[in-house]
Amino acid sequence: MTRLTITLLSLLALPAAAFAQDSGDAAKGEKVFAQCKACHEVDKGVNKVGPTLKGVIGRNVASVPDYKYSTAMQDFAKTHPAWTDELFLIYIENPKKEVPGTKMAFGGVKKPDDRANLLAYLKTKN
């Protein structure tokens, strides 16, 4: 590879590296999760108005047993097989934008730090 190619590839990798380093704060994420508690559970693995979020990161999208997902979320699952860190962060910023027709009435978590912290918290609930 030429030096220019290597330099360009290194520059393209910077945003991903920066994202990976911003792992969030689980304790702060627990406070952010207070917005989600009315509809979601994380400890008992039971469904409420929304599906359980216990083990959500890494789980297949729209796959919780005994939960009736919207057609929109089922369709979303066909092109997004699993909840990765990146997919969750994009989705939770504005659920209705990412999955038009979702049953989720929540407007989203707008602050990037809050999203990162929420993700860190949910990852402790696997």
Task: Assign residue 50 the CATH number of its domain.
Answer: 1.10.760.10
- Tell me whether residue 54 is in a domain: yes
- Tell me whether residue 44 is in a domain: yes
- Tell me whether residue 83 is in a domain: yes
pTM listed for this prediction: 0.81
Domain count, the chain: 1
- Tell me whether residue 13 is in a domain: no
pLDDT of res. 105: 93
Q: Residue 5's pLDDT band (boundaries 50, 70, 90)?
A: very low
Helix runs in 22-70, H state only:
26-33
| Position 89 pLDDT exceeds 60 | yes
> Both tokens of residue 35?
């917005």
- Tell me whether residue 7 is in a domain: no
Average pLDDT over residues 24-34: 98
pLDDT, tens only, 58-71: 999 999 999 999 99
Identify residue 75 by its one-letter amino acid code: D
Supply the range of the domain harboring residue 35: 23-123
- Tell me whether residue 34 is in a domain: yes
